[in-house]
Amino acid sequence: MKRICIFGAGAVGGHIAAKLARAGVEVSIVTRGEHLAAIQRNGLRFMHADGEFTVPVAATDDPHDLGPQDLVVTTAKAYALPEAAFQLRSLLGPETPVLFVVNGIPWWYLAVRNGGAPSRLDPVGSLLQEVGLGRTLGGVIRSPNEVIAPGTVRHNGKYSALRIGEIDNSRTPRLEAVAEVLRKGIPDTESTSDLSREIWSKLTLNIPSSLLSTLTGSTSPELFADSATRDLYERLAQEVCATAARYDTHVHFDLEQHLNAISANRHLPSMLQDLISGRRLEIDAQLFAVQDLARQARVDTPLIDVMLALLARKARVLNAHRARVS
């Protein structure tokens, strides 16, 4: 695999692109706005605890400029993917796999479960039609990043871990080939035959963090410093675990282990970053899709239900306010 395109190169995508480019991989990115202009002008700047570097990458807002790729990695927000399906199609050759690295429940997870019927994550089936399940790979990344200025991505942690898999959990030559090339940029990249477990395991962190941090404006260490919100965090994670179990995926949330892992990390969760920046929230994939699955499986999620209603209302109020002042 020689030609790799990162579609939606914001915080996470920019991290992957920068590391691959530095490793000598022929990488291009699809992004837009001031971020795109800065990268075209100055290159992609990446900052981390041990220093920084800048790499030149081919960057565009029109995938047709790039042509068919050997691999497409999309890190675009879940809500942007259905409308981007046609753009993704222009990057695909006959055998090009598409690796979807997203937060929350992926569109393909619901498509597999409902036999390809439309869902809240692919409302008119555009992803199913333009990309299809046959070329789809799933990915889960743990890597705290943010775009701190146009063209500049900062990594706010000590490590990054990427887990990728076939959506039917099979082991295939293409999966291993994708893992091999991605390791050049993200050394802790592993292929997995239990992708569902990776998805739900991350949700035990995403859901409590997204709900509590975005409602309160707090980082995870600040939430854990308060016994009341620490308790809510654990109870939310347990609701996720209970839902996952109904879908034959058993995950465990260890509060003490999580406390140790994030004790010094004051990175803002991505949903709180989006709220502060006035961007649309990934409520559907991270939260409503999980609530849907819980209700279908008849799992009680009282805390998720209450907090999600409050967060959705908060997002609507803020959006209405921004519309009035713009």
Residue-range definition of the domain harbouring residue 169? 3-193
Same domain, 145 and 241: no
The last residue of one of the domains, among 142, 164, 193, is 193
Among this protein's residues, is 202 annotated catalytic? yes
Q: Is 261 found in the same domain as 177?
A: no
**pLDDT tens by residue, 22-52:** 999 999 999 999 999 999 999 999 999 889 9
Q: Are residues 182 and 243 in the same domain?
A: no
Asked if residue 311 has pLDDT above 70, the reply is yes
Q: 188 and 120 in one domain?
A: yes
Number of domains in the chain: 2
Residues 160 and 218 in one domain: no
Tell me, yes or no, whether 62 and 152 share the same domain.
yes
The answer to whether 321 and 241 are in contact (CB under 8 A) is no
What global pTM score does this model have?
A: 0.94
* Same domain for 222 and 132: no
The verdict on 240 and 136 lying in the same domain is no
Which are the contacts of 308, defined by CB distance < 8 A and separation ≥ 6? Answer: 211, 283, 287, 288, 291
Same domain, 249 and 201: yes
Residues 264 and 149 in one domain: no
d(Cα 205, Cα 209) in Å, to the nearest integer?
6
Domain's final residue, options 161, 193, 225: 193
The CATH number covering residue 52 comes to 3.40.50.720
pLDDT digits (tens, 9 = 90+) for 134-152: 999 999 999 999 999 999 9
Catalytic annotation, pick one of 2, 158, 202, 314: 202
